[in-house]
A and B are shown apart, each in its own frame.
Chain A
Amino acid sequence: MATRRTFLKLAGAAGLAAPSLASAQGAGRVVVVGGGFGGAIAARTLKQLDPKLSVTLVEPNPIYTACPFSNSVLANLREISQQQFRYDGIKGAGVTVAETSATAVDAAARTVTLADGTKLSWDRLVLSPGIDFDWGAIPGYDEAAAQKMPHAWKAGAQTVLLRQQLQDMKDGGLVVMSSPPNPFRCPPGPYERASLIAYWLSIWKPKSKLLLLDSKDTFSKQRLFQNGWDQLYPGMIEWVPLSKGGKVTSVDPATLTLVTEFGSHKADVANVIPPQKAGVIAAKAGVADRTGWCPVEPVAFESTLQRGIHVLGDAAIMGAMPKSAFAANAQAKVCAAAIVELLAGRAPQQPLLINTCYSLLAADYGISIAGVYRPDKGLLAEVPGAGGVSALSAVGGLRGQEALYASSWFRTVTAETFG
């Protein structure tokens, strides 16, 4: 057990707010904003760890549509309904679900205002609002343009729209994708998407091509992806890095044209994944900095800008940890345990966290990247010597095994969160 002195030292070092001792006087009140991979499991774990807590989850959508495996929906390997989850399990676990959006946060008064006008008081607030797009970062790309050139980076109607466009495309057509600069949701995601679109094209529209315009010169699991593309889809995917003119500088949705520094490309199907920032409620709550993302300390993920507000998942700056559902889930469970300790006036433990992100290059071809993380100098840093990507040369059925692990992970994490 940590003593009060070590806690004060730790709290000072980590910039944690003084414990409010809420549960010492009765039950504490925690409000969680956002019922995705971070928020939903945070709310559920809080209630599980301390059933006396009052936990409210604020989420406007009655059905959550998960992004992981949504690229398989594009390739017709899954239905969108297999991506969808309800909040009944979470309600059953004793969490109050408010089916509306949070519109304002008063950090000083410790309240959050909801779209239906209700004001909720909290001892601790957890924000896991995911991402919003930086509309206007690419001239011509706005919400109306996304109906012609879908981003499909929030799964749901956008995913179905992009799949429909692919199915309506003629054989021999050109699919153009654009990948955003760092940091963004799911670093290997655009490359998994290019792979699975190529997988589908190679079966149904084999004369077609995919051009992947990138705002970066390197990307996650790059050699594994590029080796796989050469082996599985020779000549089908052309990747254009930043230094070769890959950065999209504007788009014209009327003609499906993407303009880069070096030229312009007219697409038959265009998938623009725009630059991103923390979900807008983060900026309204005053927890986002000039980068558009939220700085947090690495023990309880409390904002370094506003006391009492914790930020999880894609919205937060988590040091070396990537923006993934696996990471949001791991952070949420650490945060929930830390909040229970803080409310009881005790020191949260120094955490260790794991991330593992699988990507599919074909239905039965999976690769992964993993890492182990710990607090170091105010940020989450990788534990040296651990982590890394799948072996470059696959022995036996390794790629098939990793594809099975990928779907097993998805079943497990969604059962743990929504089941």
Chain B
Amino acid sequence: MGRLLLSVLALALLSGGPAQAADAPPGASSCTGCHAPMKVTDSVIPRIAGRKVADIVTFMREYRSGAWPSSVMGRIAKGFDDQQTEAIAAWFGAQPE
């Protein structure tokens, strides 16, 4: 996990850190349809770029288990296993806020 995060960070730095790095792990590019890479006015959907990796992982786990109630995220989180979730979280965590 820590190593993965570091390598993702390193890649982001090397490539100049665009929000759509080619190294985005599977699934990550779909998230930005709702969780904007840039600031969007009048959106109630939280941005996740630059958030704490551990927080993203915890939210996704709790959405998946239903411990944290949601409208749609529970249905989506169930499509990602722990490893996939961690990779996506690490990638978003490394994006500029």
Contact = CB atoms under 8 A, between A and B. Distances in A.
A383 B24 contact: no
Interface residues of B, number: 34
Interface in A31-89: 45, 48-50
Nearest to B24: A337
A372 B80 contact: yes
Contacts of A354: 27, 30-31, 33, 76, 79
Interface string A303-332: 000000000000000000000001001100
Interface in A364-417: 368, 370-372, 374, 383, 385-388, 390, 398, 401-402, 404-405, 407-409, 411-413, 415-416
B65 interface: no
Given A48-B20, A356-B76, A372-B76, A333 B34 contact: no
B24 to A, nearest CB: 7
Interface in B2-28: 18-22, 24-27
A334 B31 CA distance: 12
A337 B32 CA distance: 14
Interface stretch (A187-195, A217-225, A345-353): A345-353
Interface in B60-94: 71-72, 75-80, 84
A140 interface: no
Contact of B30 (A45, A352, A390): A352
Contact of B71 (A390, A415, A419): A390
Interface in B36-73: 36-38, 40-45, 71-72
Given A48-B20, A368-B72, A409 B45 contact: yes
A405 B70 CA distance: 12
Nearest to A350: B26
Contacts of B20: 45, 48-49, 333, 336-337
Interface of B: 18-22, 24-27, 29-38, 40-45, 71-72, 75-80, 84
24 contacts: A48-B19, A49-B18, A49-B21, A50-B22, A333-B29, A333-B30, A336-B20, A337-B20, A337-B29, A349-B25, A350-B26, A351-B27, A352-B30, A352-B80, A354-B33, A372-B78, A386-B76, A390-B71, A390-B72, A402-B71, A408-B34, A409-B33, A412-B43, A416-B38
Interface of A: 45, 48-50, 326, 329-330, 333-334, 336-337, 340-341, 349-354, 356, 368, 370-372, 374, 383, 385-388, 390, 398, 401-402, 404-405, 407-409, 411-413, 415-416, 419
Given A372-B80, A385-B79, 4 more contacts: A50-B22, A330-B33, A405-B71, A409-B34
